[in-house]
Structure 1
Amino acid sequence: MVGKKSEKALRDEGLERTDNNMELSSWPQIAPINQKNYYTYVTLLVFIQCLVDERRMMADDDNGSDYLKRDDQLLAFRLQNEEARNRMAKTAKDRDRALALGKQEQGDAEVDGDTAMEDAEEAPTETAGSKVIVLHLGSQNLRIGLASDALPKTVPMVIARKSAKNESEDGVEPRPKRIKLNEDGEEVQPEKQFGPEFASLFGTMCAELKTHMRQNKRRMLPNSKEMVINYNRRTVPEHIPEHNDPSRVEWTEISSPAPEYITGQEALRIPDDSKPRYKLSWPIQHGWCNEKDYDSARLLFLDISLILEDAIKTQLGLTSKKDWTQYSCVFVIPDLYERTYVSSVLEMLMKEFSFARVCFIQESLAATFGAGYTSACIVDIGAQKTSICCVEEGMCIENSRINLKYGGFDITETFIKMMLYDHFPYADINLRRRYDFLLAEELKKTICTMNESGVSTQVFDFHLRISGQDTRKYMFKAYDEIHLAPMGYFQPAIFSAGGDGDKLQGRRKLLPRSLDIYDGQQNDPTSAAQSEILAAIAPPLPAELAGVTTTEDEKPSQTNGTSDVQATPSRSHLSILGRVQDVEATPRSSVAGSPAPETTNTPSQQQQQQHQNGTPIPGDKTGGTAAAVSSSAGQQPLQQPPPQPRRAPTIEERDDILPVYPLDQAILTSITHAARSDDKKMRDFLGGIMVLGGGSQVQGFHAYLEERLHVLRPAFAKEIMIGTPPRDLDAQVVLDWSAGV
């Protein structure tokens, strides 16, 4: 065993322990707690914590326990208030300085100085956003307001113009379309008025609902349908005199002379038998410009400008156009917008309205900004279109954008179809009539539900109010129609069944697709998620459009116009000549090659030109002279180059596809393309789904949608959550309110 070395030996070997009196760390060293006094220390810490909690509670009581719930607690508002106080102080100092310099008489200075100070203190400061107008054009409603307003104002997006006949008398079939007489001229029963397709889908949905309710141990009466039909058959309306109707409608009175047009809510309240007649027009339909009902794009945008002008004057109180130059405009556009529409609106706002500045903001981005979410999946269900988009850190993810052409109005129409199928007592209902349209919307809001507990045989009533006639009170029964109509969001085939699938009629009639002037490709934004949905529902291309162009370096591409939906859509590699021949006759610069410089051609260039012109080439033994002689003699004309075949249109360029897809599957498709196989992003988006729009205000819709998503993605059942708009905001206006923030 080796003994301990002495200090001298350690010093000789350089291993002597030395101390430089330096601490190991600058952090203070705390001595360990004495175990004898351990519980004393714990008691002291608990007492200190209680004092801190009590002090915090007292502070919360002083603030009303509303931390970050008031606007004056936000940094932006505090900075604005501070700026306003500084501006007020600066104004007061400037006035005092002017008085000191003797710009006013001494006698008036004292009085005016006190008055100026009082005015400076009492004068209200200009609120941030009070000079910014926010506009959002929808298919059924226009949202308008100042950025400083608490909530926007809602105006129907409709205009009534003088006409010989109104919209219901203009020879157009009633809506929903019905088969009144069969081939033998006999009246068709209500069960057969909408064709076999609707009857089959309706019956299938009824059977599936019955099976699902049995699985959930829901009690059902076996003859519920028969009870509803028998009750509705024998129902007779009750007539109520107008003076006994407490909720009678105030109809729009036509002044003398009659105005050329009427907009907004007053247009919907014009009597159908008014003199002169007025015809309603809706400039925006299904999220697109209504090209079907207009003859020119100029008249279409003229109606839009008239509706906006009247709304600004009546809703915002800006009656003088001279004041509009001091205002800026924030215009909300769809996520998948059309460049032609945006450019036309920009021209209208800058030239006709003379706004100082114009800003465009996408719907999903505006919704997340106002809600305070950094990452979310926005589902906006409007009147006639539904948009889905994932937003991450203030940016819309391009490939996640989806635009579907159905909404709350499709639920209204389907609900009326189902009720007519079950012998609805008001069998002459026509959604093209103004009072019937308002009646149907009211019935949908008050009756429809997504809760299975509400599916039972119930008695409802409604009042039919027509100008110049007594009010009629109807009683009717409903069973599963109140649940199956909003189920169309998840089985959208029921929307087009029955002969009402005319949403694509007139498409591209007035507003052609925006194309690049150089290569002929479209300028409208595309999305991989939208392409996947369109490819899933696209019909095959006609034979004359199924061909594709090929070059020496390219292989034949697909003839059905589909592309890789997993990748970001890119421009086609087709030749420029092929693109130009496929593009419509729109103004664009020439894509032909530049003329050759006027210099001496090289021998190879001379030979090529002579060969193309049929002139003899020195040293050419292939018969160049014979070709020229035969051509000049007319025996064999020059062979023209073969025509360039048309390329197959891509999925985004096909106008024969109506984007209609189940809502739950569309949401998952959007999130899948946004996450891009990232499990963390997938969970974040599934846990941040926010549903907006008036079409989502069906009772129990959020819970039912969450249940459907759980079935489709059971592995993420714990993360899936459907959120509601924050701050108790109305789902219809949260998007427009947030655009002004």
Structure 2
Amino acid sequence: IKRLTSQIQANFIVVIHPGSKSLRMGRATDTLPITVPQVIVRRHKQPGQRRYEDQCLSREGLNAADSNEQRQNGLKMVDQVIWSKKMSSGVRRTPVSAEQVRQTGDESWTNKTHQPEYLVGEEALYVNPADCYSIHWPVCRGHLNIHSGPGGSLTAALADLETIWSHALQKLLEIPLKDLKYYRCILLIPDICNRQHVKEVVNMLLVKIGFSAVVVHQESVCAMFGSGLSSACVMDVGDLKTSVCCVEDGVSHRSSRLCLAYGSSDVTQCFFWLMQRAGFPFRECQLGNKLECILLQQLKESFCHLYQDISGLQDHEFRTCFPDSPVLLYQLRLGDEKLQAPMALFYPAAFGIVGQKMTSLLHRSQGDAEDAHDEHFLLTTQSKQDQIQLSTSSKATTDRKLFPKPAGFEGEPNMCDPSEKGNLTRDLDLGHAQSECLVGGADAEETLSALLSRKTAMTQFEGKALGMDKAILHSIDSCASDETKRKMYSCILVVGGGLLFDGAQEFLQHRVLNKMPPSFRRLVENVNVITRQKDMDPRVIAWKGGAVLACLDTTQELWIHQREWQRFGVQCSVSGPPLSGDVFVTWI
């Protein structure tokens, strides 16, 4: 397929960065993107229809029988670390127990007199719960929010995304949908993602919304572009997930990618639990109320910190300002709760989440029925070539030695045929060792045993809840060479809005420095943790990198055009040059 190589005007390229809570969108020439809550409410189609609402903070695993015990155990570890580290004056902090802590608004509900079918963004957040609307957040932890409730199907989630993005394009960017045939789009996706979901979103952008072309790229690599760095270990702390990945010269190392199933919202619910334990005066507050969740997030952002030097009891005030309710002023006394809540990011047991998968690694693609040349086909082809070479070599050797031909080389199926072992290798990311299982005989049994052991180890590892510092160390340790590891330890880039606590940079730097292997302490001159590169808001750095990507000359060869997609589907993504560090087909 012949691709257009003419320079594309950046003003006609839209950069989209979807998150679990917020959508960031703008032209590549904009200084900053527009940011809107990625939420939608839909009017009920039938009278008496049951109301449904996706929860903001509440999540599965919080109300298990062992949740409170796990919280207490996690909190003990947090308190031990707080006490063990002295303040800058050399004096130990004085712990403050929960028992010690105990001794004017113009908000209005969204106007719905015209009974709209749906409302998006801020308007959706202020819909009266008594009205007949259901609330949906279509993205959750980097994936489409698929669940068993109303609006939880793949089709419904895609329809919600299409409505939200189309609304943002028309109302906020003032781009009529009929003019999108002149526009192109850069879509940022997580490093570990559901490839089927990405394929459906690309199809939505090109076929349903109507962009003329699209480029899909990883958030971590775009964060590097936006920060102006060449190599770093990138940690993206979002609202519902935290991802870690090592990026070197624009290439994301596959083995270093991992995703943690907690983020800023989990800190908020942990802070709420700690405040309740300390006698939170707003006793009517519930995690199921979206406006009260917004209040809790504001309290977390205002009060929480990671400074060891702030010690003792402190008095605070806050106001509740809800529609159709008087403004109420509350007084609150807090001690270590303001430090304990953000420290739960380093001791996730304090979140009290039981029975949930908390860590995800990059697994092998499940393949795509529409793509006859996916990586399973390439793996099988490579394996058959290896078998032919092995058979030819063995035959020549036995002929020279006048030995009879060994069984298994006369067209008989190999003991480790990929069709038989595909279910195993499909789940594992084996890198260059992909075809080593296709050697036959005892070697196949031995390699199969190794693969099973590796899969078991991965399952056990994914069952653990790693703290942020341990996740960074694991990601860096997964890099191939010591030189790459040295680069990663020398530069740790933190993006996203989940670690915007005062003192976070120094705290994370101290944790990594103390836990890094002794062999690297001599090689690494300084562990540099960057939380605000060039004084930019870390929440928009990845989006800014997408805007930079749109202006690069090399990007002109990466566009997937609408006609190509309609004709060839996912196969057209491998007809051109590969995207930096990853071929597009490995994602979708």
Per the normalisation by structure 2, the TM-score is 0.72
Corresponding position of 2:194: 338
| C-alpha distance after superposition, 1:443-492 (max 9, x if no partner) | 11111101111232111121122221112211111111111111122111
3-state SS of paired residue (1:254) = coil
Instruction: Tell which deviates more after alignment, 258-267 or 397-406.
Output: 397-406
Q: Which of 51, 75, 79 matches 1:202?
A: 75
Corresponding position of 1:430: 286
Task: Say yes or no: does 1:398 pair with 2:398.
Answer: no
1:207/1:709 CA distance change after superposition, 3 Å: closer
Corresponding position of 2:21: 140
Task: Say yes or no: does 1:671 pair with 2:466.
Answer: no
Q: Which amino acid aligns with 2:313?
A: T
Q: Which of 541, 546, 552 matches 1:739?
A: 546
1:278/1:689 CA distance change after superposition, 3 Å: same
3-state SS of paired residue (2:484) = helix
Instruction: Tell which deviates more after alignment, 405-414 or 653-662.
Output: 653-662
How far is the alpha carbon of 1:648 from its aligned partner? 9.9
Distance 2:432 2:273 in 1: 41
Q: Which of 35, 40, 43 matches 1:162?
A: 43
Task: Say yes or no: does 1:442 pair with 2:315.
Answer: no
Distance 1:655 1:314 in 2: 47
Task: Say yes or no: does 1:701 pair with 2:497.
Answer: no
Q: Which of 135, 146, 170 matches 1:291?
A: 146
Distance 1:564 1:349 in 2: 31
Quick check: 1:457–1:477 contact (8 Å CA) kept in 2?
yes
3-state SS of paired residue (2:281) = coil
1:198/1:172 CA distance change after superposition, 3 Å: same
Corresponding position of 2:205: 349
Corresponding position of 2:568: none
Distance 1:402 1:142 in 2: 23
Distance 2:328 2:355 in 1: 29
| C-alpha distance after superposition, 1:658-706 (max 9, x if no partner) | 67322112112222222x232x332222112111110121111111000
Quick check: 2:305–2:504 contact (8 Å CA) kept in 1?
yes
Q: Which of 718, 733, 737 matches 2:525?
A: 718
Q: Which amino acid aligns with 1:408?
A: S
How far is the alpha carbon of 1:146 from its aligned partner? 0.5
Q: Which amino acid aligns with 2:486?
A: R
| C-alpha distance after superposition, 1:465-520 (max 9, x if no partner) | 222111221111111111111112211122244x695989xxxxxxx954567799
Q: How many residues align?
A: 479
How far is the alpha carbon of 1:430 from its aligned partner? 1.7
Q: Which amino acid aligns with 2:474?
A: T
Task: Say yes or no: does 1:383 pair with 2:239.
Answer: yes
Corresponding position of 1:528: none
Q: Which of 282, 298, 301 matches 2:137?
A: 282
How far is the alpha carbon of 1:370 from its aligned partner? 2.1
Gaps of 5+ in 2: 1-5, 360-364, 380-412, 440-451, 549-588
Distance 2:305 2:248 in 1: 33
| C-alpha distance after superposition, 1:19-54 (max 9, x if no partner) | xxxxxxxxxxxxxxxxxxxxxxxxxxxxxxxxxxxx
1:326/1:145 CA distance change after superposition, 3 Å: same
Quick check: 2:358–2:462 contact (8 Å CA) kept in 1?
no
Corresponding position of 2:102: 229
Corresponding position of 2:10: 129
| C-alpha distance after superposition, 1:219-238 (max 9, x if no partner) | 544665322023xxxxxxxx
Distance 2:96 2:250 in 1: 54
Task: Note the 1:319-334 alignment, pairs <5 A.
Answer: 320-334=176-190
Distance 1:656 1:684 in 2: 25
1:382/1:255 CA distance change after superposition, 3 Å: same
Corresponding position of 2:112: 254
3-state SS of paired residue (2:434) = coil
Corresponding position of 2:123: 266
Quick check: 2:180–2:211 contact (8 Å CA) kept in 1?
yes
Q: Identity across aligned pairs (percent)?
A: 27
How far is the alpha carbon of 1:653 from its aligned partner? 9.7
How far is the alpha carbon of 1:726 from its aligned partner? 3.3
3-state SS of paired residue (2:534) = coil
Quick check: 1:371–1:726 contact (8 Å CA) kept in 2?
yes
Task: Note the 1:170-189 alignment, pairs <5 A.
Answer: none
Q: Which amino acid aligns with 2:527?
A: I
Q: Which amino acid aligns with 1:316?
A: L
| C-alpha distance after superposition, 1:177-223 (max 9, x if no partner) | 9889xxxxxxxxxxx99633323332342244223348974354466
Distance 1:159 1:681 in 2: 43
Corresponding position of 1:570: 434
Distance 1:448 1:218 in 2: 22
1:261/1:657 CA distance change after superposition, 3 Å: farther
Task: Note the 1:379-528 alignment, pairs <5 A.
Answer: 379-497=235-353, 501=356, 514=367
Quick check: 1:177–1:194 contact (8 Å CA) kept in 2?
yes
Task: Say yes or no: does 1:681 pair with 2:537.
Answer: no
Corresponding position of 2:223: 367
Quick check: 1:175–1:432 contact (8 Å CA) kept in 2?
no
Distance 1:173 1:684 in 2: 37
3-state SS of paired residue (1:455) = coil
Corresponding position of 1:18: none
Distance 2:156 2:277 in 1: 39
Q: Which amino acid aligns with 2:484?
A: K
1:651/1:358 CA distance change after superposition, 3 Å: farther
Gaps of 5+ in 1: 1-82, 84-125, 181-191, 231-244, 505-511, 526-549, 576-646
Which of the two has higher C-alpha Rg? 1
1:226/1:652 CA distance change after superposition, 3 Å: closer
Task: Say yes or no: does 1:661 pair with 2:517.
Answer: no
Task: Note the 1:205-216 alignment, pairs <5 A.
Answer: 205-213=78-86
| C-alpha distance after superposition, 1:532-574 (max 9, x if no partner) | xxxxxxxxxxxxxxxxxx97579x99x9999998965736848
How far is the alpha carbon of 1:316 from its aligned partner? 0.2
Distance 1:683 1:423 in 2: 47
3-state SS of paired residue (1:253) = coil
1:216/1:723 CA distance change after superposition, 3 Å: same
Quick check: 1:692–1:731 contact (8 Å CA) kept in 2?
yes
Quick check: 1:160–1:262 contact (8 Å CA) kept in 2?
yes
Distance 2:350 2:213 in 1: 44
1:335/1:659 CA distance change after superposition, 3 Å: farther
3-state SS of paired residue (2:85) = helix
1:374/1:326 CA distance change after superposition, 3 Å: same
1:489/1:440 CA distance change after superposition, 3 Å: same
3-state SS of paired residue (2:196) = helix
Higher RCO, Cα 8 Å, sep 6+: 2
1:401/1:704 CA distance change after superposition, 3 Å: same
Q: Which amino acid aligns with 2:253?
A: I
Corresponding position of 2:91: 218
Quick check: 1:683–1:720 contact (8 Å CA) kept in 2?
no
